[in-house]
Structure 1
Amino acid sequence: MALDKMKDLNLKEARLQLQLVELEGIPVMEPTYSTWDRVWKFKARPDDLLIATYAKAGTTWTQEIVDMIQQNGDVEKCRRDTTYKRHPFLEWYIPGPSSVRYSGLELAEAMPSPRILKTHLPVQLVPPSFWEQNCKIIYVARNAKDNLVSYYHFHRMNKAMPEPGTWEEFMEKFMTGKVLWGSWYDHVKGWWKAKDKHRILYLFFEDMKENPKREILKILKFLEKDVNEDVLNKILFYTSFETMKENPMANYTRDFQGIMDHSISPFMRKGAVGDWKNYFTVTQNKKFDEDYKKKMADTSLVFQTEL
């Protein structure tokens, strides 16, 4: 029993080490805040590709699709390292010993072109050099309800994230934007507006689930790449949820050992559309829908919540 208590204490301590701090009104991790000046001054290159999402909206999936395209379907090349190392997570910084230390910035700066970079930043916090260099950006949005469920489970299994509290409490935090990377509503709307001014391909998680081939063809066109039918089928197979869930280079079982507890909830959990129905009560759903309607009244954005 004493050992369990100690374990519990260690877990709480691990969670308390990384606090949320507001950066221009957006909650970010304290280490991101402490290195913000460097992030903001990051020098993008014209051939950089930025993959931007709200957390748990299909980021890793999109990264794998893009990597498979860039490597012309060569599976071995795509397994040269974990997603986390292949595509620097720009604003993410974990201080500490080399076993856990991570600096997306340092990784990106040392990487040869062309680079695939990842961010969860809302559009207004993206380093200005991306716009100055007219970089291509792929943004993926996922419906709020499924995104919330996935984010809740991610907080449960990831000790580097703040404690989520109960499902009810986390839902409240999500609705008020008091979660890491801020309001989902502002995030998806901000990027939606930006797509009219910049080279942004705006994709929907639900479309990718419904017809992955069609969406991969959109990405190919956007990247001005061409692949033959065999390579396209290979990309479809190796970026399917079932295959990626078993791929240690994509499923986050190789990184964050001791930080991510896949026994609580795997990093790649369901990848489904409509899983929210297993979590929302009728009352919660009504409350969420009413709030959603208000927050999304000023946008033409429409999401599917089931397929």
Structure 2
Amino acid sequence: MAKDRKHVVEFLDRALEDGSKLSPEEKLCSYKGILFPITICHPETLQALETFEARKDDVIMTGYPKCGSHWLGQILNNMSVIAAKYTEEEKTKRAELEKELDITPRLEFGDPSKFKRMENLPSRRIIITHLDPNILPKSAFKNKAKILVLIRNPKDTLVSFFHFNNKMSIFPTKTWDDFFTDFMNGKVSWGSYFDFVKEWDKYIDDENVTSLCYEELKENPNLEVKRIATFLGFPLTEKEIQSIVEKSSFKTMKQSGQETLGAFGDLLFRKGSVGDWKTLFSESQNKEMDRKFEEHLAGTKLGARIKYDIYCKT
């Protein structure tokens, strides 16, 4: 286990243990009409988040659960370290500070006082979250922090979330059919996938906001990493970009997952593939998802970026 990630591992292991002691009805809480797993997201923390002061040079990455946020977070952290030209000593000091401040892996995770502790983190802060713009603190927009919105086709997102949900004791387990229904109705943790994409679509033309597509990141990681670096103003060489891609590959991250994330690492990484939805979707479920996408996202810019006809049609 990597020493600089020990506090994260302990937080996640504790959440899994606490979740295993709760009844299905006790595992989720509601904040502003959205469900959250209570062992990692407390209503008091979500409320305190409203006072969080984002910085102009913050990098905030948001993605609906199971859209690849852990993967992109790793890319951003590797990119930040390389662009800043940190020495090994500087990297160690930064990791020790995060441990000392007990910084949790997602903005909405942990205790309400964490936002005060985050003020002691040096710039640039890489902030990862699953939140939509209605819950993300207003300071992120007022101070024009750089925001990356990660999207993935809804069918693969649903299948990946289903498997993840049933492996994690912080969530109530569901049958495939029940989880499909809940997902379509926004009755899963972090709420509606469709609302998440639709709400972020309203901001996608802002100069400090850009979108990334999971499928494009898989198909051409070098090109997408270069695009991210340009958006963030990181001057990287082709060799540095290739190094980031290699360090952030699914295979590499899966191999190191247990060391950096403990038991949670074994649960986090499954396939990371495109098209896995075909293993579970029935014909009627396919048609229902097609109708839902057409109704809610077909006319949006982010909906177009998903390339639904390519990735979600048989």
Q: TM-score per shorter chain, which class?
A: 0.7 to 0.9
Query: Map of 1:48-197 to 2, 5 A cutoff?
Result: 48-72=58-82, 77=91, 80=95, 88-93=105-110, 105=115, 108-160=118-170, 162-197=171-206
- Note if contact 1:63-1:87 (Cα within 8 Å) is conserved in structure 2: no
Higher helix share: 2
**Is the counterpart of residue 27 in structure 1 residue 44 in structure 2?**
no
Provide the rounded CA distance (Å) in 1 between the counterparts of 2:189 and 2:62: 15
Distance 1:215 1:136, change over 3 A: same
Which residue number corresponds to residue 287 of structure 1? 288
Select the residue among 21, 24, 31 that pairs with 1:13. Answer: 21
Distance 1:239 1:255, change over 3 A: closer
- Note if contact 1:131-1:198 (Cα within 8 Å) is conserved in structure 2: no
**Is the counterpart of residue 239 in structure 1 residue 248 in structure 2?**
yes
Provide the rounded CA distance (Å) in 2 between the counterparts of 1:48 and 1:233: 24
Q: Shift of residue 164 of structure 1? A: 3.2
Aligned residues: 282
Distance 1:104 1:59, change over 3 A: farther
Q: Which amino acid aligns with 2:109?
A: W
Query: Map of 1:247-258 to 2, 5 A cutoff?
Result: 247=256, 251=257, 254-255=260-261, 257=263
Secondary structure of the corresponding residue to residue 124 of structure 1: coil
Q: Shift of residue 119 of structure 1? A: 1.2
Provide the rounded CA distance (Å) in 2 between the counterparts of 1:180 and 1:59: 15
What is the CA deviation profile of residues 91-134 of structure 1, one whole-angstrom value per residue up to 9, with x for unaligned ones?
11269xxxxxxx75355333222111111111111101111211
Q: Which amino acid aligns with 1:90?
A: L
Higher relative contact order (CA 8 A, sep 6+): 2
Distance 1:121 1:281, change over 3 A: same
Tell me the percent identity. Answer: 33
Following superposition, which runs of at least 4 residues in structure 1 exceed 4 angstroms of deviation?
Answer: 15-18, 73-81, 83-88
For the aligned residue pairs, the C-alpha RMSD in angstroms reads: 3.0
Secondary structure of the corresponding residue to residue 125 of structure 1: coil
Provide the rounded CA distance (Å) in 2 between the counterparts of 1:107 and 1:269: 33
Provide the rounded CA distance (Å) in 1 between the counterparts of 2:31 and 2:207: 24
Provide the rounded CA distance (Å) in 2 between the counterparts of 1:239 and 1:15: 36
Which residue number corresponds to residue 276 of structure 2? 275
Q: Which amino acid aligns with 2:169?
A: K
Superposition TM-score, scaled by structure 1 size? 0.81
Provide the rounded CA distance (Å) in 2 between the counterparts of 1:215 and 1:232: 10
Superposition TM-score, scaled by structure 2 size? 0.79
Provide the rounded CA distance (Å) in 2 between the counterparts of 1:75 and 1:208: 28
Which residue number corresponds to residue 6 of structure 1? none
**Is the counterpart of residue 306 in structure 1 residue 311 in structure 2?**
yes
Which residue number corresponds to residue 99 of structure 1? none
Q: Shift of residue 254 of structure 1? A: 4.3
Q: Shift of residue 239 of structure 1? A: 1.1
Q: Which amino acid aligns with 1:137?
A: I
- Note if contact 2:36-2:190 (Cα within 8 Å) is conserved in structure 1: yes
Which residue number corresponds to residue 5 of structure 2? none
- Note if contact 2:52-2:137 (Cα within 8 Å) is conserved in structure 1: yes
Secondary structure of the corresponding residue to residue 289 of structure 1: helix
Distance 1:87 1:239, change over 3 A: farther
What is the CA deviation profile of residues 155-205 of structure 1, one whole-angstrom value per residue up to 9, with x for unaligned ones?
112112x21310110010000000111110110121122122351111100
Which residue number corresponds to residue 3 of structure 1? none
Secondary structure of the corresponding residue to residue 188 of structure 1: helix
Distance 1:203 1:261, change over 3 A: closer
Q: Shift of residue 244 of structure 1? A: 1.2
Provide the rounded CA distance (Å) in 1 between the counterparts of 2:115 and 2:141: 18
Secondary structure of the corresponding residue to residue 50 of structure 1: strand
Distance 1:93 1:230, change over 3 A: same
Q: Which amino acid aligns with 1:241?
A: F
Q: Which amino acid aligns with 2:36?
A: V
Provide the rounded CA distance (Å) in 2 between the counterparts of 1:104 and 1:242: 32
Gaps of 5+ in 1: 1-9, 96-102
